[in-house]
Structure 1
């Protein structure tokens, strides 16, 4: 049996109904590049206990999403009316991040997942990084074809000797950019793994983590099998998950 990676769902209101959902691109990347079995975890009002998730899961993926973390979680005033938020996901993921690190379960964070890691550990965010002087607009053009939206947009430079540099074997490579928020104050216990040329933090790792704990701001899951750094990130995560499963079964 292949190892299992749990993914906490987004919630989405469609008419009178609430749906729990995960983008197919994350599932495909896990199956094709990490060689694991994805399992979706609903974002319930009363979250499933972390211990129950860890009883079946050998790793956790914190995905990106169209919603933003509610600003009160990092000390900001509420967002303007109409901003897409997902309080149920916040309630589930922010607590789960801490439990994952305490339990030593391998984790990979992507986009919103990086922001969740930073906020859960006491860091803050720029709600709209494109409004900060000197920063580029990291958002996608929603009118462009999807392959353009998720195409390479800028370079990142990895930290010498860091986890990401070790995983990818690269000091600098191109990534896509599909986000409006970004790390402002780095949380205690996190280290920078990559920066964009405008100094936006693009990847972080957890200091002294018991297992693989990496998060990136871009979207390596998008056709990960066609992009060498992305493939290597998911390969490394899959290897960590397999190693964790082996230790659990000894």
Structure 2
């Protein structure tokens, strides 16, 4: 049997300041292929070109990538301001309904950085455009002006996992250390959103979706960076791959039953 197929969400990108494109990072593709053991398939953030129902007929899992653009605040009842930064309306229009459909159908889904925010908004939660501005919170962004990936993605955020929670059991740990490159973060959790991990300042760093029939986890960090070597990231992408293989078997069995 062929490897399971995991869709990787792309972002709007303007190449050379002129050419409209869709893109994602190489490291996410490598993490899905090498750590999850699945075939990566890039998903354009273009709801006018992609039907979610049709797409999910051929996918065994989905990764919601990070991205410079933030989720548009209208999706959680707020007005757009300069503080919200860049927007990617096409991606919002595709991913928010896709999150709900994945959970409903038992299709594994893994949210990275912007992805955790989309998962929260999809279930009715809200976001803050710059968590570091809130009382008692610290700055979660990478060092200003830094161009060195080893520094940008350095493990510096201590995250305490919810005792007895899904991620604490999955990682067999009480605390982990992650990278931290975000401004926007979860403010109010949505329905069914379970907090799985908190930063030292109580910023939500990891979630799961209650009663999801398959893997449905979001993390505020970039787990795709160094996924093969980082023990936390490796476990998460391995579990995603395991869930995708289980989903593939169900999908294949359904096709066989339909053909009988």
The two structures have a TM-score, normalised by structure 2, of 0.93
Aligned-residue CA RMSD in angstroms? 1.3
Is residue 2:199 matched to residue 1:191? no
Q: Which residue of 2 aligns with 1:163?
A: 166
1:2-58 deviation per Cα after TM superposition (whole angstroms, max 9, x unaligned):
100012210112333210111111111111211111001112141512221112110
Q: Which residue of 1 aligns with 2:116?
A: 114
Alpha-carbon separation, structure 2, partners of 1:82 and 1:109: 20
Q: Which residue of 1 aligns with 2:235?
A: 232
Q: Which residue of 2 aligns with 1:249?
A: 252
Alpha-carbon separation, structure 2, partners of 1:30 and 1:9: 14
Q: Secondary structure at the match of 1:84?
A: coil
Q: Which residue of 2 aligns with 1:219?
A: 222
1:203-243 deviation per Cα after TM superposition (whole angstroms, max 9, x unaligned):
11111001110000011110111210110011111101111
Q: Which residue of 2 aligns with 1:63?
A: 65
Q: Which runs of 5+ in 2 are unaligned?
A: 254-260
Q: Which residue of 2 aligns with 1:10?
A: 11
Alpha-carbon separation, structure 2, partners of 1:105 and 1:188: 19
Q: CA deviation at 1:83?
A: 2.2
Q: Which residue of 1 aligns with 2:184?
A: 181
Q: Which residue of 2 aligns with 1:143?
A: 145
1:47-92 deviation per Cα after TM superposition (whole angstroms, max 9, x unaligned):
5122211121100111111111111111222121892111111111
Q: CA deviation at 1:143?
A: 2.5
Q: Give yes or no for contact 1:114–1:216 (8 Å, CA) kept in 2.
A: yes
Alpha-carbon separation, structure 2, partners of 1:175 and 1:246: 33
Alpha-carbon separation, structure 2, partners of 1:38 and 1:4: 6
Q: Which residue of 2 aligns with 1:40?
A: 42
Q: Which runs of 5+ in 1 are unaligned?
A: none
Q: Secondary structure at the match of 1:226?
A: coil
Equivalent residue runs for 1:64-143 within 5 Å: 64-80=66-82, 83-143=85-145
Alpha-carbon separation, structure 2, partners of 1:167 and 1:63: 21
Q: CA deviation at 1:108?
A: 0.5
Alpha-carbon separation, structure 2, partners of 1:142 and 1:149: 9
